[in-house]
A and B are shown apart, each in its own frame.
Chain A
């Protein structure tokens, strides 16, 4: 059983605040790390797929970094907006496997 942990479980911020949260995963047999954004009553949508140690990805105000040697990834949101309110999921894929193992998610709520 692979352990993929996300912290914090939930986060309340004010509009305009910048925020970040963590995904930790096994540092051995790494293949890829996915980030998904999941709005209430919708389905998860991919944000990033990261494969190389030191990768940094950016989409608008959202960015992510990856450290495969120590087994963690950070997701950053700059200047949070109410529409950023969602659950953010990370998922780990190991070598020689076809499965993604998801973390429990970080639920972000941005107050106007």
Chain B
């Protein structure tokens, strides 16, 4: 099993550009999550999904969108990148209420 994979690993965006962060898992987990890590702030939940076709907002959803068309994939879309979205983004998955498995992260810089 590859576990949770994320692409790209690094990206630099200009203000106003858009991009999609990819996340995939091969563990047949129903639950998937997107977090951002800001220095000294731990992990903040952006969006999550409890199954294909179902998504919901987390703590900090503004400026992001998600979709979940398959169990395996959970892409995160940034439409108009802003410097405040400079962060490290982690995707995670879990089977119901058990521990979450994290991907390797995507480091995004918006300048």
Measured CB to CB, the residues of A under 8 A from B are: 1, 9, 31-32, 34, 36, 42-46, 49, 89, 91, 93, 98-105
Measured CB to CB, the residues of B under 8 A from A are: 31, 33, 35, 40-45, 48, 50, 56, 58-59, 90, 97-105
Contact between chains at B56 and A49 (CB < 8 Å) = no
Residue contacts A-B, CB under 8 angstroms, 12 given: A42-B104, A43-B102, A43-B104, A44-B100, A46-B99, A46-B101, A49-B98, A98-B31, A99-B45, A102-B35, A103-B42, A104-B41
Partner of B99, one of A34, A43, A98, A102: A34
On chain A, the residues within 8 Å of B59 by CB distance are 1, 99, 101
On chain B, the residues within 8 Å of A102 by CB distance are 35, 42-44
